[in-house]
């Protein structure tokens, strides 16, 4: 029984290519001033992981506090700061840039057969902006934190708290520009840099997903930027645009904020969906079922995603007609998401499925994202939303989508392309264990929160009635398992940098152009300009190509 598709070169003779993007230049400056999209991706990966573990540590503090019904680990206002910083860091410094800035940066030029992104300097600038924003966020924590919640709700953020709203706002503003530049770069690259033969419908679905996410970044982020500028002006000089005392309307802030921040969840999830399309095809040895439908469903999510923002405001006093319309539109977004899930499932049908680590994470994604998505329908229906909003049901819902969905996809992608990025394989057995541990830990952590939400436990409080303790203990215990699941990859991936098996060009027998070049790739990605002469996910083409190569080798 062949239970793996991995085919590695003969380890006794295989060598990492001497000339590659990692060895081309040396020294810290060659990294800090690089224009190479692959190096920038690595810079992003390191800085993102740093922020992920800060955000994760804050999550750990939240779960520890909630172990007991009383607010005993920390003061209640400290708790407010902890969950606010957890949200700010995870949303703006991990989830939004996660897959696009690392895997997207690394892979989009390779997948479309280009030497680099269209605007390498802008790409580097976006990393510096990200780091500057991150330093501001860390400064905020050191200076005493901020306790408005990551949503900066007015008038709380403008009038009633005296914490570091300004520096946090500035941090988000700066990080927003980083996101705009990434999205802009992707759109220009996908339009203008495709190699000969790479038509729109030969693009890998990973690229389609990033294209859709980039549209959201480019159109949405400037709106949250102006909203934050107005909050900062309100706090510093009191201009009154959101101040009811002067005739301003706090709801206007909600509209401007969620006009970005709802599409932002699609910025987070779409690139993850792109990863899943690649892994599910590779590990079922089949072309993605309904390629065109999956490609257009990404665009449909991007378009519908802009017209549902007010479902965050059902209890804020918007009109009943607005509730009705936004409720309906919210249901519509479920359709393209479901198209993706069904098409991936059909891809599995009669495929030759193998269970390498990326595929385990992919299965995790599909299950958890489906649960997260369907509970979103509960919240989109205004009747149930009024009961469930501001409870732990919401918390569980978006963690299922963002952590269960996005983070699983991120880890699937990191494992899947690790051999391409580093030239070495990760250790398979322990990483399979990590994937399973993550899945179990995740469900233990967040499933009880659905029940807590339905029972009525509100979010954002350090203390809760004693009857909720059992489920909270479950959740905290799960969080520790989850923590182990996230620490393991850091350890064994670092280990594999030196001791991992040499991967060769194409360990997965995958079809993308990025696998048809050496690992790690050259700075120019390809020795010669590729020409795309087949459809995406064409495994027959790959077999023919490899047969020919074998004939050449044996004849020679």
Partner 1 sequence: MPDSTTIAHGAHKAAENAHEEHPPYLRHHFESTYQQSDAAGFAMWIFLLTEVMFFGGLFTAYLIYRNWYYPAFVAGSHQLNIFWGTLNTLVLISSSFTMAMGVWCAETRRRRGLVLCLILTFILGLGFLGIKSIEYSEKIEKHHVPGFHYSLQSFIDPDSDSAAKAAGDKPLPLDMARHTEVYFSLYFAMTGMHALHMIIGIGILGFMIFRARAGAYTEGHVTFVENFGLYWHFVDIIWIFLFPLLYLISRHQ
Comparing CB distances to partner 1, the nearer of 131 and 542 is: 542
Residue of the chain from 82, 172, 256, 302 that contacts partner 1 (CB under 8 A): 256
> Does 27 contact partner 1 by CB under 8 A?
no
54, 90, 165, 227: residue in contact with partner 1 (rule CB under 8 A): 227
* H-state helical runs in 283-381: 291-305, 320-348, 357-380
Residue indicated by tokens 């970005």 = 260
| 499 CA to centre of own chain | 28
64 vs 188, which CB is nearer to partner 1? 188
Size of the site for partner 1 (CB under 8 A): 56
Query: Cβ distance 309 to 263 under 8 Å?
Result: yes
Positions in 44-73 near partner 1 (CB under 8 A)? none
Q: How far is the CB of 160 from partner 1 (least distance, A)?
A: 17
- Residues from 147 through 166 that contact partner 1 (CB under 8 A): none
Residue among 216, 228, 218 at smallest CA distance from 264: 216
Q: Is 525 helix (H, G, I), strand (E, B) or coil?
A: strand
Stretch that binds partner 1, among 8-16, 48-56, 167-175, 540-548 (CB under 8 A): 540-548
Specify the length of the chain in residues: 556
Contact with partner 1 (CB under 8 A): which of 12, 247, 319, 321? 247
Query: Quick one: tokens of 376?
Result: 């979103």
Tell me if 547 contacts partner 1 by CB under 8 A.
Answer: no
CB of 309 to partner 1, least distance (A): 13
334 binds partner 1 (CB under 8 A): no
Q: Does 191 interact with partner 1 (rule: CB under 8 A)?
A: yes
- Check binding of 221 to partner 1 (CB under 8 A): yes
Q: Which residue's CB is nearer to partner 1, number 16 or number 455?
A: 16
| 318 is an interface residue for partner 1 by CB under 8 A | no
Residue 126 vs 362, nearer CB to partner 1: 126
Cα 446 to Cα 88, 94, 440, 475, 478: the distances in Å are 20, 19, 10, 6, 8
* 9 touches partner 1 (CB under 8 A): no
Using DSSP's 3-state secondary structure scheme, residue 338 falls into: helix
Angle, CA 176 vertex, CA 174 and CA 181 arms, to 5°:
100
260/400 with CB nearer partner 1: 260
Question: What is d(CA 376, CA 331) in angstroms, rounded to the nearest whole number?
Answer: 9
226 belongs to the binding site for partner 1 (CB under 8 A): yes
CB of 354 or CB of 509, closer to partner 1:
509
Contacts with partner 1, 90-119, as mask; x by CB under 8 A? ------------------------xxx-xx
Please, what sign has the CA dihedral across residues 516, 121, 90, 56?
positive
User: Rg for the chain (alpha carbons), in Å?
Assistant: 23
d(CA 161, CA 157): 6
Q: 145: alpha, beta or left, given left = phi > 0 and alpha = psi -120 to 50?
A: left
Q: Exactly one of 99, 110, 205, 225 binds partner 1 (CB under 8 A); which one?
A: 225
Binding partner 1 by CB under 8 A: which of 240, 290, 351, 458?
A: 240
Q: 518: which 2 tokens?
A: 């050496």
Pick one of 1, 237, 498, 555: the residue that binds partner 1 (CB under 8 A): 237
SS3 458: strand
Rounded Cα–Cα distance for residues 215 and 20 (Å): 32
Structure tokens at 164: 């570091």
Closest distance to partner 1 from the beta carbon of 424 (Å): 22
Chain positions contacting partner 1, by CB under 8 A: 114-116, 118-120, 122, 180, 184-185, 187-189, 191-193, 196, 218-223, 225-227, 229-230, 233, 237-241, 246-249, 252, 255-256, 259, 516, 524, 527-531, 533, 541, 545, 548-549, 552-553
């Amino acid at each position: 029984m062949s239970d793996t598709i991995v085919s590695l070169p003969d380890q006794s003779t295989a060598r990492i290519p001497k000339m590659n993007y990692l060895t081309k230049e040396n020294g810290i400056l060659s990294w800090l001033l690089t224009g190479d999209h692959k190096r920038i991706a690595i810079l992003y990966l390191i800085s993102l992981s740093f922020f992920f573990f800060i955000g994760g540590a804050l999550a750990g503090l939240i779960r520890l506090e909630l172990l007991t019904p009383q607010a005993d680990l920390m003061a209640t206002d400290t708790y407010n700061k902890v969950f606010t910083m957890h949200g700010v860091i995870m949303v703006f410094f991990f989830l939004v840039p996660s897959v696009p800035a690392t895997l997207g940066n690394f892979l989009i030029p390779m997948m479309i057969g280009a030497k680099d992104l269209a605007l390498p300097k802008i790409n580097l600038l976006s990393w510096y902006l990200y780091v500057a924003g991150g330093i501001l966020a860390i400064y905020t924590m050191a200076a005493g934190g901020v306790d408005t919640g990551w949503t900066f709700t007015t008038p709380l953020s403008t009038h009633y708290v005296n914490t570091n709203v300004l520096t946090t706002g500035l941090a988000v503003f700066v990080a927003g520009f980083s996101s705009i530049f990434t999205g802009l770069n992707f759109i220009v690259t996908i339009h203008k840099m495709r190699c000969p033969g790479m038509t729109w419908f030969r693009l890998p679905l990973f690229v389609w997903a990033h294209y859709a996410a980039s549209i959201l970044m480019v159109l949405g982020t400037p709106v949250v930027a102006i909203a934050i500028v107005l909050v900062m002006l309100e706090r510093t000089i009191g201009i009154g645009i959101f101040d009811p005392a002067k005739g301003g309307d706090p709801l206007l802030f909600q509209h401007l904020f969620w006009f970005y921040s709802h599409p932002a969840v699609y910025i987070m999830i779409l690139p993850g969906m792109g990863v899943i399309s690649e892994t599910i095809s590779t590990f079922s040895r089949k072309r993605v079922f309904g390629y065109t439908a999956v490609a257009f469903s990404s665009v449909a999510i991007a378009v519908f995603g802009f017209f549902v923002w007010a479902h965050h405001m059902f209890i804020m006093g918007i009109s009943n007609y607005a509730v009705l319309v936004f409720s309906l539109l919210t249901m519509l977004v479920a359709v393209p998401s479901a198209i993706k899930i069904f098409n991936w499932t059909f891809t599995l049908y009669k495929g030759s499925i193998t269970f390498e680590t990326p595929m385990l994470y992919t299965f995790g994604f599909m299950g958890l994202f489906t649960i997260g998505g369907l509970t979103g329908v509960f919240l989109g229906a205004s009747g149930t939303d009024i009961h469930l909003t501001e409870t732990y049901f919401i918390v569980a819902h978006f963690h299922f989508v963002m952590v269960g969905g996005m983070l699983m996809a991120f880890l699937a992608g990191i494992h899947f392309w690790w051999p391409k990025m580093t030239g070495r394989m990760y250790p398979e057995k322990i990483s399979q264990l990590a994937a399973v541990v993550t899945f179990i830990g995740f469900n233990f952590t967040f499933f009880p929160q659905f029940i807590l939400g339905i029972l009525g436990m509100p979010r954002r409080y350090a203390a809760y009635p004693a009857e909720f303790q059992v489920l909270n203990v479950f959740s905290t215990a799960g969080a520790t398992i989850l923590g182990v699941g996230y620490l393991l990859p850091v350890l064994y991936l670092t280990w594999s940098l030196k001791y991992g098996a040499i991967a060769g060009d194409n360990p997965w027998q995958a079809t993308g152009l990025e696998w048809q070049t050496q690992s790690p790739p050259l700075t120019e990605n390809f020795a010669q300009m590729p020409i795309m002469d087949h459809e995406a996910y064409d495994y027959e083409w790959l077999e023919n190509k490899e047969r020919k190569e074998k004939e050449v080798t044996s004849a020679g």
